[in-house]
Amino acid sequence: MKKMLAVVLAALLLGSMGCAGDKAKELFETAQFEEKQHNNEHAEKLYNEIVSRYPDSVVAKQAQERLAVLKKK
C-alpha cells in the first residue's frame, strides 16, 4: 500500500511539473507578443514573473536574455 501511494504521489508531482513548464512557456509567448506590440513595460513584467516563479526552467533563462535586451533599449 505504501509503495502504491509513493507511485501515485510521484506521478502527481511529475504531472504538476509539466504544468508549470506549460505555464512558463505560455507567459513567455505572451511576453514575446507584448514586445512585438511595442509594449515593453508589460513584456518586462511577464519576463520577470517567469524568472521569479520558474527559476530553474529553460524558459527562465530565455526570459533573462530578453530582459537584458530590453534594458539596452
- Beta strand segments in the chain, E: none
Q: What is the rounded CA–CA span in Å between residue 34 and residue 2? A: 48
Give the distance from CA 11 to its chain's centroid: 21
Average pLDDT of the chain to the nearest whole number: 85
The count of structural domains within the chain is 1
Which pTM value belongs to this model? 0.74
Indicate if the pLDDT at residue 10 is higher than 90: no
pLDDT tens readout for residues 34-63: 999 999 999 999 999 999 999 999 999 999
Q: How confident is the model at residue 17 (pLDDT cuts 50, 70, 90)?
A: low
Q: What is the rounded CA–CA span in Å between residue 68 and residue 41? A: 13
Q: Which residue range forms the structural domain that includes residue 54?
A: 2-72
Please return the burial class of 43, using the count of CB atoms within 10 Å of its CB with bins 0-12, 13-18 and 19+: buried
